[in-house]
Amino acid sequence: MRKLVALLGIFLISQLFVAAYAQTSTSNSPFNRQPGEIKILNAYFGNFKEKMEVEPGDMNVPFTIVFAAVGTQDITGIHSGLSLPMGFSSSNAKDGLIMADTGSVALAGEIFSLTYHVNLDKNIKIGQYPGMVKIDFSRLRESGIRDSFFNFDFLVTGKSILNIKSADPFLTSIKNNPVVIQVSNTGTAPLSNVHIVLQNTQTSVSATAQSVTNLENSVFDQNEWNIGNIEPKSTKLFIFNIYVPEKLKDETLHAPMEITYHNAHGEAKTVLRTIDFYVNGLIDASIYNVEVITLSKKQTVIGEVLNEGNVDGLFAFVTLEPLGNSNIKKSTQYIDKLEPDSPVPFNFPIEFDGEPRDGEHDVRITVRYKDSLRNENTISYDTTILYKDMSEEETSNLPEFMSFIILGVLAGIGLLVYTRIKKKNKKTVNQTS
């Protein structure tokens, strides 16, 4: 009985040692380290210095795997074969492994990389894929070839393509212009944390560099914008105001923008893009001094068009048209140029569709002209005019006029009679003497 108990005790103690060993064994440790000469660090499209965004259909794209020589000795004669899933192939061979070699020595404890060249089939999807790589190498000052195999994951990121432009590329001088800028991503990968800063030559361009902008005398109400993320095939807008001086009319205004964003690899990128605007001169036309006067015994609408801008309005027409129940006939005149600070007069003898109607008439006066880009512009002025029929006034004044004629005739007859009587009396006196 004592022997049985002793054997049972030995068994239980041995199980405790087994359990303790199992808990400390490296096979179950989350920090399992497999001893070897090489350790894989990263795998991505691009070269050792810079990652690249790629998308289905790209050809001859560099694919880099970064390794660390973790052994105690330098290694040399490195030769590698890369195996990727279906849809990825070597740009140098139609079948088989994608090969890479390095003629340099990988020093112990240092990082080295191998670059392969890969074609991407247009039918693959953007996303994560598995791969496998085999490395053959030799230890320095030692004969024989060793090999290592590594599994890894890599990304087909898609490409982000940034474009920036103004929704309306035309500005007007001596005026505050609202500007809408479109920032679009026409690619297949997102743009993250997009940040835009307006660049001015006085602060952002060195004195020895050739100026690419003429913003010095323009006034912006903002110069920095946080856009956020821009998904593939989408656009975001930002808005600001800009005042352009008169001297820039008929010129192109260049606005450089420094754009910072993170690409699909999470790397920060900075690009410089220039937004161009064409600066029009200002045509500021208004209609003044509209009234009705009598010209050649006819009621006439007169007025003036004044351009308070800095360039001519071209091919100008002015139109009078009735509003409401007015039966004034519509008519148009050509008044040529609207020169700055030079009032251009117009006049419309009033005519009617049908019988003239005395009293008030609602009318609209419209001026149509073209700017320097031959775009048509219109301004209008609504008013009420008072029409008085001059023919009735002439008829009503006829009797009064006739009375003056009669009085004149009578006065003439009286003068003639008086003259004859005076002559006759003078003749009689002469004969008597």
Identify the residue whose tokens are 């070839």: 145
pLDDT at 10: 45
Query: What pLDDT, in 10s, does the model give residues 316-369?
Result: 999 999 999 999 999 999 999 999 999 999 999 999 998 999 999 999 999 999
Q: What would the two tokens of residue 262 be?
A: 């993170």
CB 218 within 8 A of CB 253: yes
Above 50 in pLDDT, residue 262?
A: yes
CB 244 within 8 A of CB 205: no
Distance CA 376, CA 307 (A): 15
pLDDT at 209: 44
Can you give the pTM of this predicted structure?
0.69
Angle at 346 between CA 345 and CA 347, to 5 degrees: 135
Query: What pLDDT, in 10s, does the model give residues 372-426?
Result: 888 999 999 999 999 987 665 554 444 555 666 666 666 666 666 556 666 665 5
As a whole number, mean pLDDT of residues 137-166 equals 90
pLDDT at 400: 55
- Specify the range with the lowest mean pLDDT, choosing from 55-69, 90-104, 197-211, 244-258: 197-211
Give the pairing type, strands 268-280 and 170-172.
Answer: parallel
- Specify the range with the lowest mean pLDDT, choosing from 3-12, 61-70, 157-166, 238-247: 3-12
pLDDT at 166: 95
Using alpha carbons, list the distances in angstroms from residue 8 to 16, 194, 314. 13, 71, 114
CB 377 within 8 A of CB 317: no
pLDDT at 95: 63
Helix (H) or strand (E) holding 19: helix 2-24
Q: What are phi and psi of 353, to 5 degrees?
A: -90, 100
As a whole number, mean pLDDT of residues 52-66 equals 95
Distance CA 309, CA 260 (A): 40
Burial code (b: 16+ CB inside 10 Å, e: under 16) for 108-118 equals: beeebbbebeb
Look at 40 and 421; give whichever has higher pLDDT: 40
Q: Rounded mean pLDDT of the chain?
A: 83
Max CA distance (Å), the chain: 209
Residues 6+ apart with CB under 8 A from 25: none
Domains identified in the chain and CATH numbers: 38-156 (2.60.40.10), 162-280 (2.60.40.10), 285-389 (2.60.40.10)
